[in-house]
Amino acid sequence: MCLAIPARVAEILGPDQAVVDLGGVRKPISLALVDDVNVGDYVIVHVGYALTRLDPEEAEKTLRLMAEAGLLHDATP
């Protein structure tokens, strides 16, 4: 089974690298598979790669549900 999660882009490190924030955890990821990503965008992340950009409302809804289920400690954008 694969798990991909929404995360907010907190910092762009270069053309193919960014840092995402998920509930206060910051992690570097690759943007090699996604074009035109900016700080504040939400992306779906799987094994260190952004797979696609995500609608902010959908991302926040998913993060709230994950927090309610106890999977995240802080999911506020």
Band of pLDDT at residue 4, cut at 50, 70 and 90: confident
pLDDT in tens, 20-75: 998 789 999 999 999 999 999 999 999 999 999 999 999 889 888 888 888 776 54
State the residue range of the domain holding 19: 5-68
Residue 54 included in any domain: yes
d(C-alpha 45, C-alpha 42), whole Å: 9
Residue 73 included in any domain: no
d(C-alpha 69, C-alpha 43), whole Å: 21
Residue 41 is predicted with a pLDDT of 97
Residue 61 included in any domain: yes
- Amino acid letter, 68: E
- Nearest CA to 16 among 36, 35, 30? 30
Total domains in the chain come to 1
Supply the pTM of this predicted model: 0.83
Please give the structure tokens belonging to residue 8.
Answer: 């907010």
Residue 58 included in any domain: yes
